[in-house]
Amino acid sequence: MTSAQIDVLLVAIVVAAACAVPGTFLVLRRMAMMSDAISHTVLLGIVLAFFVVADLSSPILIVGAALVGLLTVLLVETVSRTGLVREDTAIGLVFPALFSIAVILISSLAGNVHLDSDAVLLGEIAFAPFNRFTPFGGDLGPIALWVMGAILVINLACTALFFKELKLATFDPALAAALGFSPALVHYGLMALVSVTAVGAFDAVGSILVVALMVGPPAAAYLLTDRLPRMLGLSIVIGAASAVGGYWLARLLDANIAGSMATVVGIAFLLVLLLAPQRGLVATARRRRRQRWSFARQMLLIHLATHEGTPAEADESRPDHMQRHMRWPPTFANRVVQTATERGLIVLEHDQLRLTPQGRETARVAVVS
Amino acid sequence: MSVRLRTGNALAVQATDLTLAYQQRPVLWDVDLEVPQGVLMAIVGPNGAGKTTLLRTVLGLLRPAAGEVRVFGRPYAEQRQLVAYVPQRGSVDWDFPTTALDIVTMGTYSGLGWVKRPGASERSRATAALTQVGMQAYANRQISQLSGGQQQRVFLARALVQDAQVYLMDEPFQGVDATTERAIVNLLRALRADGKTVVAVHHDLQTVAEYFDQVTLLNVRRIAAGPVDKVFTDENLRLTYGGRVAGIGGRTNGSGHEPSL
């Protein structure tokens, strides 16, 4: 690998990790779409701040972007608090408005500046290695790596410091308020992190990938664990792995890197959705199948137990009676009888199904529970 | 006892003239709530009567248009430490990735303040509270794997661990199994024996007289309030429910006979 490739991969990994941390809380708060809104509207903050400082590399741009990110949240809440539109509609109203103002400002007033609305959507991470951090003449690597590294450290530090507050305000905002931890403060703090992360990341990878990295890996991690710290860790790992995988996919297909990374995030989520050990679709389907068979066996045992020792027993215990009585198709009924026999719950004697002691006990427990 | 010294002789909870409206519709209209220390009080009323709103207003979660709330004679904001809240079970997302013990530990957060993390002593207090509600075996269970009654007991344990003087509970008996219902009743009595005060929104008119000492009948306005044997009458119930449940469970004298339905 060339050093430029290593730089690109490092930037991608750091961006993915930085996005996964606030993304985890967005997903748990059911506010995933807020990442979409903020990652677009921060452009307005960048444009406005640029008009003030006239310097594309000024850190003031990040401050402006973060402020507009918070403004987005504030406007969405103001619109939805009228009670006349729902929150998702409010997001759909606010974010195109702010974003399109930014696009108009760029196209009419800043046409000759490198503020390109295409780059906003998809970014160009391949250029990241060429923009280098060279204080006092030394070369310390790509600027994007330093910016995103700093944002990652901020995100991790804030999450570590305020982990209990974030958890409490996310799970039960009313209790948070009653205990004196302002949920609004936590909310806007988190949104500030989202905004800063979005503005830092979208310069490198574009807003589409910011959304993908904030929502996809946490959504996948959510299906894999039921502990919050593990969900955070898994989000980071899944995001970073997707970013690396996406980079190689892009090289293979000679395609846009950010687009490929977002695609791999989607594929990773799909795989987890299908194959997650407890909550995946495959595991759920298998569990349901197993339960169906086990329930059918229980019905058979209870039926036999009910008629055991009654005059009707001879008639009720014939294998072919099960099909009629339980309305089971013949193959299904045969298989229930077969699996129950294999498990030592019943035996077939003189064309009669008889409970074994174990089968009798199973039927008794099934009725009691 | 130090509790008495700190709390004095004032009412445990005293809300006066609470008025609150959503848009144009009044939800609470000039409501007073007076809860003496050491009693179990039920708040009873039809759907939309403002029961939950009343609790949330007392807790400062909603800002009333008029009125004030005092806890042991001082504004709620100064006495927050003395009040624990058990919200409706349905008000939170039980798929949240954490354990029963972690939820109960949340009750210790107010003593910790910002940033400081719960440690061994907080966890052992949480474990003790879980034991008190008979849930110690489920401490490390993911909360979505608990039954409704078990979730309710986790919420109660979380309130217990706050070690408050006043417990505000929003329908603690809603949709729980018989075991949990007994556990909650025993818990309420244990709290009362310790001199604590409980205010609970309650739906089951049949059990009001059995479980509670006092009752506030609410339907936007306060219809009546006081000891159950004096206030929980057919006449007052009819005023509260608009005649729809005339004759249910109300009793005018004594206690110990089965409510009629």
- Tell me: the pLDDT tens digits for A319-363? 777 777 778 888 888 888 888 888 888 888 888 888 888 888 888
**Chain A, window 82-101: residues with a beta carbon less than 8 angstroms from a chain B beta carbon:** 83
**Mean pLDDT within B106-114:** 89
Write the CB contacts of A153 (distance below 8 Å, at least 6 apart in sequence). Answer: none
Q: What is the pLDDT of residues B5-52, one digit of tens each?
A: 455 567 888 888 889 888 778 888 888 999 999 999 999 998 888 899
In order of A163, A225, B137, the CA distances from A168 in angstroms are 9, 19, 23
What are the pLDDT digits (tens) for A282-306? 999 999 999 988 888 888 888 888 8
Q: Which of A179, A222, A227 sits opposite B98 (nearest CB)?
A: A227
| Residues A226, B60: C-beta atoms closer than 8 Å | no
**Three-state DSSP class for residue B23:** coil
Testing the interface with A: which of B53, B69, B80, B114 to mutate, by most A Cβ within 10 A? B114
Say if strands B13-22 and B66-71 run parallel, antiparallel, or are unpaired.
Answer: antiparallel
| Cβ pairs A/B, distance under 8 A | 74
Across the range A53-78, mean pLDDT stands at 86
pLDDT in tens, A194-245: 999 988 887 777 888 899 999 999 999 999 999 999 999 999 999 999 999 9
- Residue A128 per-residue DSSP state: G
Out of A275-284, B23-32, B112-121, pick the least confident: B23-32
Interface of B with A (CB under 8 A): 23, 56, 59-61, 80, 83, 85, 87, 91-93, 96-99, 102-103, 106, 109-110, 112, 114-115, 117-118, 142, 144, 158, 162
Q: How many other C-beta atoms lie within 10 A of the C-beta of residue A229?
A: 13
Out of A83, A177, A228, name the one closest to residue B98 (CB). A228
Whether the per-residue pLDDT at B252 is higher than 50: the answer is no
Contact criterion met (CB < 8 Å) for A164 and B109: yes
Query: How high is the pLDDT of residue B253?
Result: 42
Query: Is A28 within 8 Å of B97 when comparing Cβ atoms?
Result: yes
* C-beta of residue A28 within 8 angstroms of C-beta of residue A219: no
Residue among B94, B106, B117 with most chain A CBs within 10 A, to mutate: B106
The verdict on A127 touching B (C-beta cutoff 8 Å) is no
ipTM of this model?
0.83
C-alpha distance from B221 to closest chain A C-alpha (Å)? 25
Give the residue among A243, A248, A199, A265 at the shortest CA–CA distance from A11: A243
Does the model's pTM come out above 0.80? yes
**Which of the pair, A190 or A312, is modelled with greater confidence?**
A190
Q: What is the pLDDT of residues B59-89, one digit of tens each?
A: 888 888 898 899 998 888 888 889 999 988 8
The predicted-structure confidence for A160-188, as pLDDT tens digits, reads as follows: 999 999 999 999 998 898 888 999 999 99
pLDDT tens, residue by residue, A94-110: 999 999 998 888 888 76
Q: Searching chain B, which residue's CA lies closest to the CA of residue A231? A: B97
**How do beta strands B40-44 and B197-201 pair?**
parallel
pLDDT at B243 exceeding the cut of 70: no
The fraction of chain A above a pLDDT of 70, given in percent, is 95
For chain A, positions 12-31, list CB contacts with chain B under 8 A. 28, 30
Per DSSP, B138 falls in state G
Q: What is the Cα–Cα distance from B226 to B205, expressed in whole angstroms? A: 16
Contact with chain B for residue A177, Cβ under 8 A: yes
Cβ-based contacts of A227 with chain B (< 8 Å): 97-99
Residue B177 predicted with pLDDT over 90: no
* Strand A352-355 to A346-349 pairing: antiparallel
* H-helix segments, A162-280: 163-171, 173-178, 183-224, 228-253, 257-275
A227·B93 Cβ contact <8 A: no
Task: Tell me which residue has tokens 């995030």.
Answer: A265
Residue at B4: amino acid letter: R
Residue B246: pLDDT over 60:
no
Q: What is the edge-to-edge ordering of all strands in the sheet holding B66-71?
A: B25-35, B13-22, B66-71, B74-75
Single-letter amino acid, residue A46: I
* Chain B contact set for A30 (CB, 8 A): 93
Percentage of the residues of chain B whose pLDDT score is greater than 90: 42
pLDDT at B251: 45
Please identify which residue in the block is written with the tokens 């009323």. Answer: B45
Average pLDDT, chain B: 85
Beta bridge partners of B216: B43, B225
Residue B218: strand, helix, or coil: strand
Q: Nearest CA of chain A to the CA of B222: how many Å? A: 25
Between B61, B80, B99, which is nearest A180 by CB?
Answer: B80
Intra-chain end-to-end CA distance of chain B, in Å: 44
Q: Are A177 and B99 within 8 A, CB to CB?
A: no
pLDDT at A209 (0 to 100): 87
Separation of alpha carbons A61 and A58, rounded Å: 6
The reply to whether residue A222 touches residue B106, judged by beta carbons under 8 angstroms, is no
Interface membership of A228 toward B (CB under 8 Å):
yes
Lowest mean pLDDT segment, chosen from A133-137, A186-190, A364-368, B145-149: A133-137
Contact with chain B for residue A168, Cβ under 8 A: yes
Residues of chain B with Cβ-Cβ distance to A161 below 8 Å are 115
A215 touches B: beta carbon within 8 Å: no
Give B255's pLDDT tier (boundaries 50, 70, 90): very low
Residue B161: closest CA among A359, A337, A179: A179
CA distance B241 to B245: 7
Q: Give the total residue count for chain A.
A: 369
**In this complex, is the C-beta atom of A163 within 8 Å of any C-beta atom belonging to chain B?**
yes
| Of residues B234, B185, B193, the one with CA closest to residue B37 | B193
Residue of B nearest to A158 (CA): B115
